[in-house]
Structure 1
């Protein structure tokens, strides 16, 4: 198949999938999701994404009738059915299907998956341009919920300005980006915001920390401000699709470029890990 959609056991092309009108994701965004990439039909860091997915479900009281192993096997099987060497893998669960009501009881969760070709770019040379904006999102940012309207609006503004991403901040404390984590290199230290209710526990963030430690780069999981970010030696945007993206501009100001050696070390370590894990 050129692409694939799955909903509670039904499999079709994405354009052909039908979802019940009363799915609670429709009315309330009542669900959680996760996403990653795959190469050679090998899903990258699958166990990490499953762990986060099930943790998100537990935090919003969604009960599933499938295990981590069962979902992992299903995702692997579905990925093998898509005729592409590199793909994006998205999976979500909603609380269930029922007439619109804020309360819920005895609902069977709905599992939805889609897989589509995506050209992966593990680039040393690409530089990203960002903008900052106040973080008006709610206090559940550590849960990967379907409630992404602030992220959507901020991303749209960035796109209209010809930019790649948005950096959120709360009273000048940097939190994360619309669909990435954000970290810095300063004076030889890799610094990233601590895990709290204001940031998602990013899988790429986790492996940036592990890579830093393996390379002998000091790590600090402490908050930093917008001004500290702008003054950093390097600014790193990280997500499953961009595990170590170098930032060159924020709010029209040139940034980074002062510690290319450590940046290249991190990129090389992470890219080699990706290609090794997804090798045939």
Structure 2
């Protein structure tokens, strides 16, 4: 069993053992796309949903994934079983391939698959988090899960230094998403979430939250909403595949959200129940 596992183009080992060719285009251009999810009981959560988005992202950038979807699914399921622990962070990416540095990549280049798996814990949905807002200065490929994450790195580092969990991004006052999560609000019993356009990534966790609301009879509006509406919301919900659903009680140092725990907990309980049914777990973390 590995404490941490790395995989590149057919080779498996520890992160220190697996070597990446110098001319892999990720080194020069961040030329690739990725996915990540949690795993419980060595079962990658919502794996089919993540694989669908992975292949869609690659197709949008003309990247050739060197495996069919079923083969990659089997690989990921096999690899996660080789890592110690009961809950894991499962990450995989495909880069465009290996070639001497040049912006033009030519046709027919075959991509390279990378995988990284480590033990991890899922964020506690019972504990409130603090958030901050910042203008969204990223480029307009937000709907593709690319490796070009420097803006997210800068936003996340700033948040960490300020002692907050995440940064909520906005364009001219319209909330888009967080640096590495989706953000939605509840107002008067209605879930409001930014529509899936070019400014946000179609979050798998966000999608399943919306599906949970439909099952529970909670109304959903997928529309733009403003920073003012965010600050006035009854609840502020942050969703991601590694933390499912978290709620905020502070934004930019001011009290915000945390006014409708009944509706929030109905959604949270439904998502946790789905995770337990999918993975066979009975607790979120050990």
TM-score in same-fold range (> 0.5): yes
Q: Distance in 1 between matches of 2:148 and 2:133?
A: 20
- Alignment match, 1:119: 121
Aligned to 1:93: 94
State the shift of 1:113 in Å: 0.3
SS in 2 for 1:130: strand
- Distance in 1 (CA, whole Å) between partners of 2:126 and 2:64 is 44
Q: Given the alignment of the two structures, is residue 165 of structure 1 paired with residue 173 of structure 2, yes or no?
A: no
C-alpha distance in structure 1 between counterparts of 2:235 and 2:70, whole Å? 39
Mapped contact 2:66–2:113 kept (Cα < 8 A): no
Match of residue 79 from structure 2:
78
Q: Which residue of 2 aligns with 1:223?
A: 224
Q: Is the Cα contact below 8 Å between 1:33 and 1:92 reproduced in 2?
A: yes
Runs of 4+ more than 2 Å apart: none
Computed over aligned residues only, the root mean square deviation of the Cα atoms, in angstroms, reads 0.9
Q: TM-score, normalised by structure 2?
A: 0.96
Contact 1:124 1:264 (8 Å CA) reproduced? no
CA distance in 2, matches of 1:234, 1:65: 43
Distance 2:121 2:53 in 1: 24
Counterparts of 2:146 and 2:214 in 1: how far apart (Å)? 30
Q: Distance in 2 between matches of 1:119 and 1:192?
A: 26
CA shift, 1:125, in A, is 2.1
In 2: Cα distance, 1:229 partner to 1:15 partner: 43
Please show how residues 146-185 of structure 1 align to structure 2 within 5 Å.
Answer: 146-185=147-186
Q: In 2 relative to 1, CA 102–124 (structure 1 residues): closer, same or farther, beyond 3 Å?
A: closer
Size of the alignment, in residue pairs?
A: 279
Distance 1:80 1:99, change over 3 A: same
Q: CA separation in 2, counterparts of 1:65 and 1:58?
A: 12
Does residue 1:33 correspond to 2:34, yes or no? yes
Tell me, which stretches of 5 or more residues in structure 1 are unaligned?
none
Contact 1:96 1:109 in 2 (8 A): yes
SS at structure 2 position matched to 1:244: strand
**What are the ranges of 5 or more consecutive residues in structure 2 without an aligned counterpart?**
282-286
Give the Cα separation in 1 of the matches to 2:219 and 2:205.
17
Distance 1:57 1:206 in 2: 20
Distance in 2 separating the partners of 1:124 and 1:94: 34
Query: Taking structure 1 as the reference length, what is the TM-score of the superposition?
Result: 0.98
The answer to whether 1:192 aligns with 2:199 is no
Shift of 1:65: 2.3
Question: What is the rounded CA distance, in whole Å, between the counterparts of 1:203 and 1:240 in structure 2?
Answer: 7
